[in-house]
Chains A and B, each alone.
Chain A
């Protein structure tokens, strides 16, 4: 069972993670698309990582919100990969990254509309049936709404409730969206189905103008996001927490420092509440 504090696996970090003796993350997370079908050096690195750490997979190319057909060949390949490594937790983004037959390799915002909910719910069920696993979907950051007809929280709630999928609660993304779209982050989280949260993402971001933050995963987590995380934990049962860092990778000491800060908050919140029970 996955628990504790994890770290996103980047190729730059693999040798350190393999050789690490102390203060190891409890698990690692990686994008299956970046490792499926690899041999040679990276295939062997993945085997070493798998021997040393439990891991979860966080996909990039499922494109669950796309108007295009689902790529069934890819989903079957994915299932073989998840089965091979006995991955129980597979998450993706509630966004689309492929459209009109072309992959874009980035996350575009889905219009918050009823027909999009219906469309995505149907697709999630197909994916879950093929994978024989519950899909876990992440609330993504976005910089502009697109043709929205309902608030984001309602869009998320409907999809999770009707599809039976779970939620990957990205606390940094909530912070980013609340800032970018001028809403209250705590109120937003309060409206989510928190009993469906499978795990949490934490990351840094970059403010590019006075009213816009871009979710870069290229900086350290800021205090306000730690505070929102702290507040959120009071409302959740214990779940795994993952630190994402995709760019400007700092020294491993710095990453360990961030993981330690997250661990302190978790231990403070969840152990105390556990004792109180």
Chain B
């Protein structure tokens, strides 16, 4: 390291001030102008989070949101050189703290996670799917699922956007996937039966056998009504682009 300790200290003091807003005595610096650096750094981060989490931002008061961003800047060491990935670090930070805002808005962690996962699934590098034939005749062949997808576990049904009386009741599973044609992100709540079906499809078990096994796993009658319910789910997944087709 060719930098001497004093230069390192000066650089660290300026950076720390930008992160926590606590003014230090920085040699040779104009103390009236230093606050512009804090302001500019804070504005970058605040603007980033405001844009990444429009719903969370609207649910919190501006002072609450600013406090959250300020705490993140001060306490979290942002790791990614790619600024668009920092909202993911923000979610991790908020969800492992016990900030007062989480008492006021107990669903906040789930909401931030859902908004971040939409950004991630929308933006991230395309994943390669297995070779498939686009066909609704799913029948006896294994299905190929859209790899540009995630399933997240939530305590609060934040995806319903029904904020009045929002309560945690059970584990909610939410599927997010990027449609390969429109490139838009779709959301779908999954029941435990749906989740089981997706697990079976991921194991390359044919569509129809998966339906049969899922019905049996939940002690349901293998009758027309239940098969029809499951098949409607399969058709919806195919129509919306989560099931891409059958293995070819």
User: Which A residues have a C-beta under 8 Å from some C-beta of B?
Assistant: 33-34, 36-44, 60-61, 65-67, 71, 74, 96, 98-106, 108-111, 113, 115-116, 118-119, 122, 143-148, 208, 212, 214
A-B contact pairs, 16 of them (CB 8 A): A39-B125, A39-B127, A40-B126, A60-B81, A61-B82, A67-B1, A100-B16, A101-B79, A103-B86, A104-B15, A106-B40, A111-B11, A115-B2, A143-B33, A146-B14, A146-B29
Residues of A within 8 A of B18 (CB): 104, 106, 108
- Pairwise interchain contact A103-B14, C-beta atoms closer than 8 A: no
**Interface check B162, CB cutoff 8 A:** no
- Pairwise interchain contact B81-A102, C-beta atoms closer than 8 A: no
- Pairwise interchain contact B28-A148, C-beta atoms closer than 8 A: yes
- Pairwise interchain contact A147-B7, C-beta atoms closer than 8 A: yes
0/1 per residue, B1-33, Cβ < 8 Å to A?
Answer: 111101110111011101100000011111001
**Interface check B137, CB cutoff 8 A:** no
Whether A34 touches B28, Cβ cut-off 8 Å, given contacts A100-B16, A147-B7, A147-B10, is no
**Interface check B219, CB cutoff 8 A:** no
- Pairwise interchain contact B41-A104, C-beta atoms closer than 8 A: yes
Distance from B188 Cβ to chain A, minimum over Cβ atoms (Å) = 18
Tell me the complex Cα distance, A145–B77, Å: 25
- Pairwise interchain contact A118-B2, C-beta atoms closer than 8 A: yes
Residues of B within 8 A of A39 (CB): 123-127, 148
Distance from B117 Cβ to chain A, minimum over Cβ atoms (Å) = 14
Tell me the complex Cα distance, A37–B44, Å: 22
- Pairwise interchain contact A40-B148, C-beta atoms closer than 8 A: yes
Whether A119 touches B3, Cβ cut-off 8 Å, given contacts A41-B183, A61-B81, A104-B15, is yes
- Pairwise interchain contact A36-B82, C-beta atoms closer than 8 A: yes
Tell me the complex Cα distance, A270–B210, Å: 72
0/1 per residue, B72-86, Cβ < 8 Å to A?
Answer: 000011111111101
Residues of A within 8 A of B27 (CB): 146-147
Tell me the complex Cα distance, A208–B35, Å: 13
- Pairwise interchain contact A111-B7, C-beta atoms closer than 8 A: yes
Q: Which of B26, B33, B77, B83 contacts A147 (CB 8 A)?
A: B26
Q: Nearest B residue to A78 by beta-carbon distance? A: B81
- Pairwise interchain contact A66-B11, C-beta atoms closer than 8 A: yes
Tell me the complex Cα distance, A222–B20, Å: 35
Whether A40 touches B124, Cβ cut-off 8 Å, given contacts A144-B30, A144-B34, is yes
Distance from A12 Cβ to chain B, minimum over Cβ atoms (Å) = 12
- How many B residues have CB within 8 A of the partner chain? 48
- Pairwise interchain contact B81-A34, C-beta atoms closer than 8 A: no
Q: Which of A34, A108, A116 contacts B83 (CB 8 A)?
A: A34
Residues of A within 8 A of B37 (CB): 106, 108, 143
Residues of A within 8 A of B1 (CB): 67, 119
Tell me the complex Cα distance, A34–B80, Å: 11
Q: Which 5 A-B pairs have the closest CB atoms?
A: A99-B15, A61-B81, A39-B126, A144-B30, A102-B77
Residues of A within 8 A of B10 (CB): 111, 146-147
- Pairwise interchain contact B4-A115, C-beta atoms closer than 8 A: yes
Q: Nearest B residue to A34 by beta-carbon distance? A: B84
Whether A116 touches B3, Cβ cut-off 8 Å, given contacts A40-B124, A99-B11, A102-B77, is yes
Tell me the complex Cα distance, A102–B74, Å: 10
Residues of B within 8 A of A115 (CB): 2-4, 7
Q: Which of B4, B15, B19, B29 contacts A144 (CB 8 A)?
A: B29
Tell me the complex Cα distance, A155–B169, Å: 62
- Pairwise interchain contact A103-B2, C-beta atoms closer than 8 A: no
- Pairwise interchain contact A40-B123, C-beta atoms closer than 8 A: yes
- Pairwise interchain contact B11-A105, C-beta atoms closer than 8 A: no
Tell me the complex Cα distance, A118–B4, Å: 10
Tell me the complex Cα distance, A34–B3, Å: 30
Q: Which of B33, B48, B82, B123 contacts A42 (CB 8 A)?
A: B123
Residues of B within 8 A of A208 (CB): 36
Distance from A146 Cβ to chain B, minimum over Cβ atoms (Å) = 5
Tell me the complex Cα distance, A116–B26, Å: 16
Q: Which of A34, A109, A122 contacts B2 (CB 8 A)?
A: A122
Residues of A within 8 A of B2 (CB): 115, 118-119, 122
Distance from B97 Cβ to chain A, minimum over Cβ atoms (Å) = 17
**Interface check B45, CB cutoff 8 A:** yes
- Pairwise interchain contact A103-B80, C-beta atoms closer than 8 A: yes
Tell me the complex Cα distance, A41–B19, Å: 33
Tell me the complex Cα distance, A40–B124, Å: 7
**Interface check B122, CB cutoff 8 A:** yes
Interface centre among A36, A43, A115, A144 (most CB of B within 10 A): A144
Q: Nearest A residue to B6 by beta-carbon distance? A: A147
